[in-house]
Amino acid sequence: MKVSIHAVNFNVDGKLVNFVQERMDKLEKYYDKVVSSDVYLKVEKTSEKENKIVEVKINVPGDGFLVKKQCKSFEEAVELSAESLERLLVKRKEKIRAHA
C-alpha cells in the first residue's frame, strides 16, 4: 500500500515515519484492496497535553475512510486511528461478501 505522510507545521523524524508506515501496512491484513492512505500529522497550538492530531484517509475501490484522533503522542494517535480503520475495513469486507 502506498502511504503518504504529511507533517503539518513541523518536521517529522524517521522513527515516526517508519512507525506510521509499518502500522498502515498491517491494515492490509484486514482488507487487501486498500489502494493508498494519506496520514496527516498536526500539532495543535494549545496549552493542553493532548495536542497531537492524526488524520488518516484510506482509499479503497469505490470508497474512502477518514479517521481523526487527538492524543498526547503521535504514536498513540496513529495506533488508535489504525484500530478504528481495522474495524471499518472489516465491516466493509463483510458487507462486500454479503452482496457477492
Q: pLDDT per residue over 7-41, tens digit each?
A: 998 999 999 999 999 999 999 999 989 999 999 99
What average pLDDT does the segment 74-88 reach?
97
- For the stretch 68-79, pLDDT in tens is 999 999 999 999
What global pTM score does this model have?
0.91
Q: How far apart are CA 84 and CA 62, in angstroms?
A: 19
Residues 6+ away with beta carbon under 8 Å from 10: 41, 43
Q: Are 39 and 52 in contact (CB under 8 A)?
A: no
Is pLDDT above 80 for 100?
no
**Arithmetic mean of pLDDT over the chain:** 93
